[in-house]
Each structure stands twice: as C-alpha cells, then as structure tokens.
Structure 1
Amino acid sequence: MLPDVDVDEVALKLFMGAFFNSGQVCVACKRLYIHESIYERPRDKLHQLAQTLPIGDCMQPGVLFGPIQNLPQYRRVLQLRDEARDAGLVLLEGAAVPERGYFMPLTLVDNPPEDSRVAVEEAFGPILPLLRFSDVDEVIASAYGLAGAVWINQNLESSPMVPLGGHKQSGLGVENGVAGLMEFTQPKSIFIPKSA
C-alpha cells in the first residue's frame, strides 16, 4: 500500500483477498506491504474488520469465514501463530471462534521481520503478516510467492475470459475463460459411418 491509497476503499477488498476461505486459497494475499507513512491506519482498519466479521459455520447467514480444512493443517497454522507469539511478535487477533472445530481467529502479524517464518512460509490459513516498508524498490526485490497483485486507483475492466491458474509445481490447472472450461472436458473421437 502506497501513501496515496484510499484506505477506506481498499481495506475490505484486501481483507477478503487475504482471508477468503479462511486464507486457504493458493492466490490469497500472503504478505501485505504497507508504506511506513500510513502503516497504522490500514493496520487498524484491517484489525477492526478481523474483530467484527464472524467466524463459524458458513452455512449460517452472515458467517463469512469457516474452519481450517483438516487437523494436520490446523496444527501447522497454530504452530506458525504460536512461534510468532513466542518470538515476541505482535499478533492482532480477530473475533472469538467456536470452541469445537478447527477454527482460528483471523490474525494479523504486526510488522514481523521479513525473514521470520510467519512472513516467509505460506500459512494457507488465517494469518496475514503486515510488513512496513519505506522503499518500494525493496519490496519489488523481495521474494515472491505463488501470486502477486498490484492494485491501482483507476477503474479498469478486465475480461472475465482471463484465465487464472498454474501448472507444474505451482498449481493444478486453470479457472475461467476457455482454458478453464477445457479443464472440465476430455477429448473423444466419434466415428460416424458414411452413408451408402
């Protein structure tokens, strides 16, 4: 986030980009870089969202965030969070979660060291490190994940036909567009005899 960002305009969108499906999306925001001159305002706005948006049974009206998908992943995400806390990092946790199930509060990590495990490893869960920066070139030079996004303050429209996805070690295929539709098909040969 650069100094000219409209925090009120983008906060919920960034929040959902990080925590949609409780952060269990391969292209979810895994690290959020915020310019030091505005750092506190977006941090506080995101924390407010984490404290007010409910976690629980997503079949219930108004509940947007559910559990972590399985026990091994739940334990892994809790370990990342606990290691961050034990290292003295500041965790900004969200709303209370149900006692039963693999639920964890939506958690912001307040400016962890960029080489800390919570900032380097993909949590694939409801943890978002907020990283303070002063030089955008340093951010660009930092390590990249599976996906990256640059948001600008202009109204541009992209085609719904733009494919999203990856192959090899970075994904299982493509969504959207013709390429996404082809993921649901298998080629078949049909032979029709010529009429006599």
Structure 2
Amino acid sequence: MTTELRRLRNYIDGEFQDAADGRTTEVVNPVTGEAYATAPLSGAADVDAAMAAAEAAFPAWRDVVPAERQKLLLKIADAFEERAEELIAAESENTGKPLGLTRTEEIPPMVDQIRFFAGAARMLEGRSAGEYMEGLTSFIRREPIGVCAQVAPWNYPMMMGVWKFAPALAAGNTVVLKPSDTTPASTVLMAEIIGGVLADLGHPKGVFNVVCGDRDTGRRMVEHPVPAMVSITGSVRAGMQVAESASKDVKRVHLELGGKAPVVVFEDTDMAKAVEDISTAGFFNAGQDCTAATRVLVHESIHDEFVAALAKAAAEIKTGAPDDEDVLYGPLNNANQLAQVSGFIDRLPAHAKVETGGQRVGDKGYFYAPTVVSGLKQDDEIIQNEVFGPVITVQSFTDEEQAINYANGVEYALASSVWTKDHARAMRLSKALEFGCVWINTHIPLVAEMPHGGFKKSGYGKDLSAYGFDDYTRVKHVMTSLDG
C-alpha cells in the first residue's frame, strides 16, 4: 500500500498555492531515505507572483512606523514559542536533527534573535544633523532597500530563515524567501505563523512570501528585476553565481558562503576541556555548519596525546534517530551530501590516517560515523576544501608563526578559535587570524548582539547584530537651505 505524501505549498500574497504549472519535487526524510512530502517546483510564474506581491506590499510596509514593525516581530517571536513543538517536529522530520537538541539549541536562539531585531527596528541611527556648509543643514535618512530575495540553506532551515527575514522586516523591507529544495517543511510552517500575525495586525499580505523550488527557482529570483537586494547562505560556487547575476542590474548582495574553521591548540591549553568542547563543536549537526570546529591545528609537543584523546571522544559520540536522547547528531541532509563526505574519506592520501570512524552507519538513511583524520598536510584536499560533515582533521604545527600560516592558508575566512592560557598569545592570534570571528578557549557560540560573517571566499555582509540590520538599509543624505 502506498502512503500518500504530504503536500507543501508556496505562500504568496497571504495564500498557500501550488506551483502554477503543477510541478512538484519530493521531500525526503534523511533518517529513512524515503519521501514523506512533496513541495512545489516553482517556475517563472510563481516567482513573478511572489515578487509582485512583495513589490505591491512594500510602500505600505515601508511607511509603517518602527514601533509597529517591532510589534509585529515581537508577536512572531511569541507565536514561534507557542508553536515550538510544531516547528521542532517539522525541522526534525526534514533534517533528521535530534528533537531534544533542536528544542534547546535552536528555538531559544531563534526567538531571541527575532526579539533583538524587533528592538533594532527602533534604532535607525545616523550622524547628527548639522551645518557643514554655511547656510545649509545636512542630515541622514536611513531607509529600507525594497524587496529582498533571500535563499536559505538546508543545514539550519529555520534559524537561517530567521537570520534573513527578521532584519529585513525590521528595517521595513518586504521578503521573498526560498528554502532549500531538500528542506522546505519548517519554512512553510513559519510562513503560516508569520502570515497569521500579519493578518491579525492588518498589515499587507505580501510583506512575507515563501517560494519553494530548486536552483533554477533561486536563479529566477536572483535575476528577477524587482528585488533590490539578494541574500544567500550557501556554497562558494552558488555565491559567485549570485554575485555575477546580481551585478547585471547592480542589486545589493549579501553572501555567507561557508568556512573551514581553524582550531589552533597550544601546548598550555586545558586538554580535557579542549577535547570535549572541540569534539562537540566539530560534530554538532553532523558537522554541517560553516563554523564547525573541523580543522584542528595542534602544537607538536602535545599532538599525539591530543589525537588519541580526540579519537577516543569521537568514538564515544553517538549518531542516530531524532527521538534518541543519547545522540549528538542525526544524519547528513541528503544522499548527495553523504556521497560528498564519503568521497573525501575515500580519496585520502596515503600519508593520512583515519583514527576513528570513516564509514557510513547503517543501511538506511544518511548517517555517517564521527571521524577523526590525522597525518595530513596543508595542501591536502580535505584541508583546503569544506567537507560539511562529521569529520575532524588534525595537523601538527611547530610554532606560532606556522600555526598562523596554516590557519590562514585556505580560501575560507568565516570563523576560527585559539586555545591557550597565554593572554598575550591569544591577543596576537586574534589579530593575525584572517577570519570574521575568533573564539578564545571556546568554539561556536553565537549571540544576537554580535556580527556573524566572513572574509575572502566566505563572502561579505553580516548576519545578526546591528551590522546585520544595517545591511538591510540604505543611507540617504538630505541637505536643506536655511535661507528659505
């Protein structure tokens, strides 16, 4: 007997809709490897409709006073809390994430981040007005940009959706958000919640829209003439394509494109704490995190001891089904990602050593064992490229200079960490490391008040913080004559 698949739908101008041409794509539960839903495979007509709705809603939403935008976001945050269990269930079914960790590690930060941007809506700061030329007064207007086309990734569908829509709406923009084709379920549920709050407060229906689809759908959004800004979290390749496409009509672009975070461990560190924290930060969410602690650099004097301890800790970490309270992480997101992670291990050079793991777990779903690889060189593929899986690599360094060279010697520049009891050394490294974030004796915590974003091929623009809010505004100079 065939089980009927759940039907997910686009959310455009306050209504749930199928793709105009009826096309769909299957949504797979990565725990089982089996489809459980269908989602629209949106085409040009659907993107046109969503952009038209957002464009029509923009003038009224732009003119809503900041206090009312704050009220909307606060009510959205409250609604997310009230319907947290539904969001957790949707996210877990779509990604395979552990239910308990999704409840404690994702819902509270998401709600907090929405509330932060609710406050930011009322903090449109600019330089004070003044006379910088005799007889003339200048002042600054900080305004919303317009319609924002936003593309979220599959590793954190809910949270990355929040990072995109919350600052955009707070600043007075309207939104067309596209989730990944493998993880639309929680985003569609968020649309239902946000749409309900918009309706309750009497705001235009087209302020927030969700369009499901594949890469072609995303490409149509980026190329569409309506959006004034495009924001994407994804691969370097995708970001480069977006930047190239957006340049043709000079759209503003916001890119967060991945990382290869160095974790620099010196000989004076508290090894037990470092091993425990690094293993958690490396394997959390199956290593599917742009900031994951997956590239460890260890001083040669403690290298062997550290590798042994890290391998032991990794071997004790459990992956499994979402309802198992003992698991740290669930499956990889999709079959392609399983193949990618497996491929990195299969192609390891002869000088590399798999200390633990290195294989798929089970014959159903996309589970992969926590893996530690040592004996690597700086130019090895697995050091230079993002694995995006539960794989931690370990290299040895001789001194501070070599540690810095190794750490900076990749094309990514999103996040990093330094582990030492030497304050002066930590300060030197925090200056020398070319990454958007440097943690000291910790790795992976984020707060709404501080910016998240990288350099080099990790992209540009900031998420979270007042800097992230500013990215969704434009600055206008107004000058007036004092003589009438």
User: What TM-score range do you get, normalising by the shorter chain?
Assistant: 0.7 to 0.9
Instruction: Report what 1:54 is aligned to.
Output: 318
Which one-letter code corresponds to 2:315 in the other structure?
Q
Please give the alpha-carbon distance, in whole angstroms, between the structure 2 residues aligned to 1:159 and 1:129: 23
Instruction: Report what 2:352 is aligned to.
Output: 89
Q: 1:100 to 1:106 in 2, by over 3 A?
A: same
Q: 1:137 to 1:77 in 2, by over 3 A?
A: same
Cα contact 1:22–1:66 (8 A) shared by 2: yes
Cα contact 1:36–1:133 (8 A) shared by 2: yes
Higher-RCO chain (CA-CA 8 Å, sequence separation at least 6) = 1
Please give the alpha-carbon distance, in whole angstroms, between the structure 2 residues aligned to 1:67 and 1:171: 27
Q: 1:69 to 1:174 in 2, by over 3 A?
A: farther
Please give the alpha-carbon distance, in whole angstroms, between the structure 1 residues aligned to 2:396 and 2:455: 32
Identity %, equivalent residues: 28
Which one-letter code corresponds to 2:353 in the other structure?
V
Q: 1:30 aligns with which of 288, 294, 300?
A: 294
Unaligned runs of 5+ in 2: 1-264, 424-439, 474-484
Which residues of 2 match residues 1-196 of structure 1 at below 5 A?
1-84=265-348, 87-94=350-357, 97-142=361-406, 143-144=409-410, 145-146=412-413, 147-153=415-421, 160=447, 161-166=449-454, 170=458, 174-179=462-467
Which one-letter code corresponds to 2:417 in the other structure?
A
Q: 1:180 to 1:66 in 2, by over 3 A?
A: farther
Deviation at residue 127 of structure 1 after TM alignment: 1.4
Deviation at residue 134 of structure 1 after TM alignment: 0.8
- More displaced stretch, 143-152 vs 21-30: 143-152
Q: 1:88 to 1:63 in 2, by over 3 A?
A: same
Whose strand proportion is higher, 1 or 2?
Answer: 2
Instruction: Flag the structure with larger Rg.
Output: 2
Please give the alpha-carbon distance, in whole angstroms, between the structure 1 residues aligned to 2:456 and 2:404: 24
Cα contact 2:453–2:460 (8 A) shared by 1: yes
Whose helix proportion is higher, 1 or 2?
Answer: 2
Unaligned runs of 5+ in 1: 187-196
TM-score, scaled relative to structure 2:
0.34
Deviations 1:66-117 (A, max 9, x none): 1111111211110100111x63521022498333111111111112122111
Please give the alpha-carbon distance, in whole angstroms, between the structure 1 residues aligned to 2:446 and 2:383: 32
